[in-house]
Amino acid sequence: WRTVFNSIVMCIFANTAPEMQVKLINAACGLDWTVEDMLKCGERGWNLKRAINNRLGLTRADDKLPKALLEPFLDGGSAGFIPDIAGMLSAYYEARGWDPGTGKPTRERLVQLGLEDLADDLWGQ
């Protein structure tokens, strides 16, 4: 829902609950959305943004953290720990419905979200 929150230019520090946010959207736009409608809209926006970036050349190889964040701490409870970024990224892609090899939203996910034209554009017809 943060994608919708950002797209309607609400201050993130307001920390408005999704239920209140949907009431504000409905009042301003004359809609009759539920929280689920808003979540789907946000999911569509997130996948659209990802697909645009994929079309511009972004791939899984670009989804990385700065080197400094991947160096283990020398002491403390996390001393020596290096996170499995590749595994975490694969799990994230799976949760999002994105292709694990390319990082693109899968055709199936885009169709689920009503983005058939985008699926054809990204994956071919």
pTM confidence score: 0.87
The model's confidence at residue 1, banded by pLDDT at 50, 70 and 90, is low
Domain chopping of the chain, boundaries: 2-123
CB-count burial class (<10 Å; 0-12, 13-18, 19+) for 108: exposed
Instruction: Report the C-alpha gap between 25 and 3 in whole angstroms.
Output: 13
Specify the pLDDT at position 10: 82
For residue range 100-123, what is the model confidence (pLDDT) as tens digits? 999 999 999 999 999 999 999 999
Instruction: Report the C-alpha gap between 37 and 1 in whole angstroms.
Output: 10
Q: Is the pLDDT of residue 9 over 90?
A: no
Summary mean pLDDT of the chain: 93
Mean pLDDT of 20-44: 95
Mean pLDDT of 13-28: 90
Specify the pLDDT at position 8: 83
Q: Is the pLDDT of residue 18 over 80?
A: yes
Fold of 2-123: 1.10.599
With tokens 């983005």, the residue in question is 115
